[in-house]
Copies of this chain bind each other. A is one copy, B any other.
Amino acid sequence: MELKTHWNGSGASSVLVGSVMIGAGGYTVIAGPCAVESETQIMASAEFVAEGGGAILRGGAFKGRTSPYEFQGLGEEGLRYLRRAGDANGLPVLSDVTEPGDVGLVSEFVDMLQIGARSMQDFALLRAVGQTEKPVLLKRGPAATIEEWLLAAEYILNEGNSQVVLGEQGIRTFDSTTSSTLDIGSVPSVKRLSHLPVIIDPSHASGASEIVLPLALAGRAAGADGLMVEVHPSPDEALTDGPHQLDKDEYLALMHALGIVRLRADIDVIDREIVRLLARRVKGAVDIARIKVEEGIPLRSLDREEDLLADVREEAELLGLDANVVHELFVEIIRYSRVEQAQALDRPPESE
């Protein structure tokens, strides 16, 4: 039998949440506090989420908690605050739904429904969200195989809703150094089996804010379509999961490390990156020059330079740049490389 979640040759799916696309080659950041605790708290969170480049705002209103004596969320009031905070900052919003009976209520307020890890095999809930038109983020259960996770998604697709994103947040293993073990291999494994987008949640996997950043980078490198990260204006005062929530500065540092930054800063960063690449280029050219001298090969190869410049023009055109301008820049760069080669070899630059 062919499963609706399985790869079928017609390409990877993408899921539209408000105006935000998940999948299709992009990289989407969902951020927000574990739980909506007050209007002030979610509003403050939403502001810095948007400022840092986050695309979707999360916030739990119905919280499943291990003990009955812990904070259980603000319910409908929390959803109302979340919606307002999202609207005020131009962000679509996501919140957990834990019971089939709540699907209608939560759907009124959010742009994307989350099914948490503990509910991954609540089949009535899967069917209920499958009957809505809301996108769904389906977290992997802590003891679920990848096959079981995809079959849980199958329940949703089988009801007619194909807007499903998978979320890896770690599995239970013997090692308690991190709160659960992020199964980074699940990202490429899911990509081989299924057309659905997959994101990672390093917050729940890590249990410590210092580990969130490297896990987030690893997830993107492994091919994830995005990231869910928990942030809080004052993690120390959080009513739930304080230890792994990032504060504003940690969040901005994460977004910077991911290369997701506001426009102005972006140009600074790009310029610095260009300079770094120039340095690597010059070093490479000098290394080649040394080898050529040892082997008695002429330093300069006009054919090679022409090829290089042709490649560069082609690349520029592909990317919509003015090929002549870029050509001139690289003539200059090549000239400069030759100067550095000559200095390193202690001889005059070859004439043009």
Task: Write the residues of chain A forming the contact surface with B, with a CB cutoff of 8 angstroms.
Answer: 1, 64-69, 72, 98-101, 118-119, 121-124, 127, 141-143, 145-148, 151, 154-155, 158, 171-178, 181-189, 192, 205-206, 210-211, 214-215, 217-223, 263-264, 266-268, 270-282, 284-285, 287-288, 291, 308, 311-312, 315-316, 319-322, 325-326, 328-330, 332-333, 336, 339-340
| CA–CA, A342 and B336, complex, Å | 30
| Given the contacts A118-B121, A268-B308, A312-B271, A263 and B284 also touching, CB distance less than 8 Å | yes
| CA–CA, A315 and B273, complex, Å | 9
User: Which chain B residues border A263 with CB–CB below 8 Å?
Assistant: 284, 287-288, 291
Interface contact B174-A185, CB-CB below 8 Å: no
| CA–CA, A154 and B69, complex, Å | 9
**Beyond A172-B174, A278-B329, A279-B316, 5 extra complex contacts between A and B, CB < 8 Å:** A68-B123, A146-B177, A177-B186, A217-B222, A274-B281
| CA–CA, A3 and B121, complex, Å | 28
Interface contact B319-A275, CB-CB below 8 Å: yes
Query: From A259, which residue of chain B is reached at the shortest CB distance?
Result: B280
Q: How far is the CB of A47 from chain B (nearest CB, A)?
A: 18
| CA–CA, A187 and B182, complex, Å | 12
